[in-house]
Amino acid sequence: QSALTQPASVSGSPGQSITISCTGTSSDVGSYDLVSWYQQLPGKAPELMIYEVNKRPSGLSNRFSGSKSGNTASLTISGLQAEDEADYYCCSSAAGTIVVFGGGTKLTVL
Amino acid sequence: QVTLRESGPALVKPTQTLTLTCTFSGFSLSTSGMCVSWIRQPPGKALEWLARIDWDDDKYYNTSLKTRLTISQDTSKNQVVLTMTNMDPVDTATYYCARGGNLGWFDPWGQGTLVTVSS
């Protein structure tokens, strides 16, 4: 199980939108709608932001959205805020068995 | 409210066996569809899924670490235990337990416990 591929870093100014990509294979991202995204603030545990490609947990801001096309999933954050600065990880499960994470993307709010 | 908390040694020596306990509340692992997973994160590095145990006692492991891992549950105590044999300094990481994994998502996570492997 190889790690999913994410850009090491992305940046944006407050109010802008950014998109983080997550590329897998036809065995994981491409075959199942079991993609999730996590935000990890410095020194904290990861927090679920998106599950099953595009679903948001209750109470999460609608500024966060997810999508998928082929073997690539994406997380979009609109109306960027300083508090969004964090590491973001994607995750994919193959048929609910083996799980693989992405290498993580550091988001900097300029 | 669902909570999970990891516990175990902060320091282990190379070749030793690590035993970590995840104590949870707010849900029952006996409930159909429930599961608990272990995930680790070396300092400054990415997350790595390790293992999962389901309500029906089915178990799944990271294929690269499968020979070293054992996951088990104590339903009466609301605990999930992970053992990892033959520890090496590269296993130094923060180890998290989290609810979920069978549908590809984990929520919530415990606070994590840092395990350092050093002689």
**Could you read off the pLDDT of A96-106 as tens digits, one per residue?**
788 999 999 99
Asked whether the beta carbons of residue A45 and residue B106 sit closer than 8 angstroms, the reply is no
Q: Looking at chain A, which residue has its C-alpha nearest residue B6?
A: A45
Cα–Cα separations (whole angstroms), residue B107 to A51, B65, B102 = 10, 23, 12
Using a CB-CB cut-off of 8 Å, the residues of chain B touching A27 are none
Residue B70 bridge partners (DSSP): B83
For chain B, the average pLDDT equals 96
> Which tens digits make up the pLDDT trace of B1-59?
999 999 999 999 999 999 999 999 999 999 999 999 999 999 999 999 999 999 999 99
φ and ψ at residue B29, rounded to 5 degrees:
-75, -5
Contact in structure between A63 and A32 (CB atoms under 8 Å): no
CB-nearest partner of A45 from B37, B105, B110: B110
CA distance A41 to chain B (A): 12
* Contact assignment for B106 to A89 by CB distance below 8 Å: no
Inspect the interface and report whether the beta carbons of B106 and A38 lie closer than 8 Å.
yes
Q: Write the Ramachandran bin of A53: left for phi over 0, alpha for psi from -120 to 50, otherwise beta.
A: left
Q: Which residues contact B60 (CB under 8 A, 6 or more apart)?
A: A97, A98, B51, B52, B54, B101
Interval B97-115: pLDDT, tens: 999 988 889 999 999 999 9
Q: What is the pLDDT along chain A (110 residues), one digit of tens a residue?
A: 678 999 999 999 999 999 999 999 988 899 889 999 999 999 999 999 999 999 999 999 999 999 999 999 999 999 999 999 999 999 998 777 889 999 999 999 99
Q: How many beta-carbon pairs under 8 angstroms link A with B?
A: 73
Under an 8 A CB cutoff, do A96 and B111 touch?
no
Q: Which two tokens mark B118?
A: 């050093």
Nearest CA among A98, A78, A100 for reference residue A89: A100
Q: Which residues contact B31 (CB under 8 A, 6 or more apart)?
A: B55
Question: Per the CB < 8 Å rule, is A51 touching B60?
Answer: no
Q: Does A29 touch chain B (CB under 8 A)?
A: no
Q: Are A91 and B48 a contacting pair at CB < 8 A? A: no
Chosen from B3, B47, B49, B64 to mutate, greatest number of chain A CBs within 10 A: B47
Among candidate residues B15, B28, B16, B19, the one with its CA nearest the CA of residue B6: B19
Indicate yes or no: CB of A1 within 8 angstroms of CB of B52.
Answer: no
Closest CB to A45 among B64, B96, B101: B96
Sign of CA dihedral B32, B24, A99, A5: positive
A41 touches chain B (CB under 8 A): no
Percentage above 90 pLDDT, chain B: 93
